């Protein structure tokens, strides 16, 4: 069986080097090359390759952005020029990686690891490794754009602007997205910090709301109040956070 392989790197010499070295792997078939992340997402969705050599650092959509945009990920061998400190995460979470500049022996080792995985690997374990890597390099960046959520048998990528509201649930956060909800292992304080500038407001110790989803505000007794979202959800605004909410209302007014 041929291992159908896509090469993604914004540098043509790097793509050509990988393609040339792969000629010595008889069971590897290169089905295409991509020079940017957006093109990679389109080709992966259309061609469904078994394996992708994926450059992490590309202008525009980087390698992590490619992964986050895909509903189903092929096996990934990351190609990176990150320093040794950053590479530790690849050693722990990735199926394999190539550190630039690389040679044939290292690429051959990566292909061998892919073969072993295809014969004996666990799809669920691989999905977990991909999520852990995304959490370390993407979801846990200083500012959130989207988050990777681990669910039974799959990974869901949630865009921040699609979230209606967030509530604390034990050691997790529950992200309410339309009629669906997702559990994310994260703290409310960290989420609030990473949502700065994303039009989210803390309503209480356990609640964050997307301001674009608020339809109405109503005062209650003893200084408390309540917001009503467009879908009818009612969320209390505690007295502790009332001042921030009032200031925001004044700014919007």
Instruction: Please tell me the distance from the alpha carbon of residue 203 to that of residue 171, in angstroms, as a whole number.
Output: 19
| Whether the Cβ atoms of residue 31 and residue 56 lie closer than 8 Å to each other | no
Q: Dihedral of the CA atoms 193, 82, 84, 67 (nearest 10)? A: 60
Q: pLDDT grade, residue 141 (50/70/90)? A: low
pLDDT digits (tens, 9 = 90+) for 149-192: 877 766 777 888 999 999 999 888 999 999 999 998 888 887 88
- Res 111: pLDDT: 94
Q: What is the pTM of this model?
A: 0.60
| Whether the Cβ atoms of residue 182 and residue 175 lie closer than 8 Å to each other | yes
Q: pLDDT grade, residue 239 (50/70/90)? A: confident
| 140 pLDDT more than 60 | no
Q: pLDDT grade, residue 230 (50/70/90)? A: very high
pLDDT digits (tens, 9 = 90+) for 196-209: 778 888 898 899 99
- Res 191: pLDDT: 83
Looking at the chain, the whole-number percentage of residues with pLDDT higher than 70 is 86
pLDDT digits (tens, 9 = 90+) for 16-47: 999 999 999 999 999 999 999 999 999 999 99
How close are the terminal C-alpha atoms of the chain, in Å? Answer: 64
| Whether the Cβ atoms of residue 208 and residue 200 lie closer than 8 Å to each other | yes
User: Which domains, and CATH codes, for the chain?
Assistant: 3-136 (3.40.50.2300), 144-252 (2.40.50.1020)
């Amino acid at each position: 069986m041929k291992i159908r392989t896509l090469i993604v790197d914004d540098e043509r010499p790097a793509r050509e080097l990988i393609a040339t070295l792969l000629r010595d792997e008889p069971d590897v078939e290169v089905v295409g090359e991509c020079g940017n992340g957006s093109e990679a997402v389109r080709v992966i969705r259309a061609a469904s390759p078994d394996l992708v050599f994926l450059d992490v650092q590309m202008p525009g959509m980087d390698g992590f952005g490619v992964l986050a945009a895909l509903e189903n990920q092929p096996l990934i061998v990351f190609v990176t020029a990150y320093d040794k400190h950053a590479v530790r995460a690849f050693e722990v979470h990735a199926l394999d990686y190539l550190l630039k500049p690389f040679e044939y022996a290292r690429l051959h080792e990566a292909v061998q690891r892919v073969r072993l995985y295809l014969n004996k690997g666990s799809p669920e374990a691989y999905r977990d490794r991909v999520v852990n890597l995304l959490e370390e390099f993407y979801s846990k960046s200083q500012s959130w754009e989207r988050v990777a959520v681990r669910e039974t048998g799959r990974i869901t990528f949630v865009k921040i602007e699609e979230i209606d509201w967030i509530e604390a649930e034990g050691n997790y956060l529950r992200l309410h997205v339309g009629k669906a909800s997702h559990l994310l292992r994260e703290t409310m304080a960290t989420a609030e910090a990473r949502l700065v500038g994303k039009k989210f407001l803390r309503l209480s110790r356990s609640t964050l709301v997307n301001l674009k989803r608020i339809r109405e505000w109503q005062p209650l007794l003893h200084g408390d109040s309540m917001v009503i979202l467009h879908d009818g959800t009612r969320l209390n605004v505690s007295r502790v956070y009332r001042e921030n909410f009032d200031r925001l209302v004044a700014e919007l007014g």
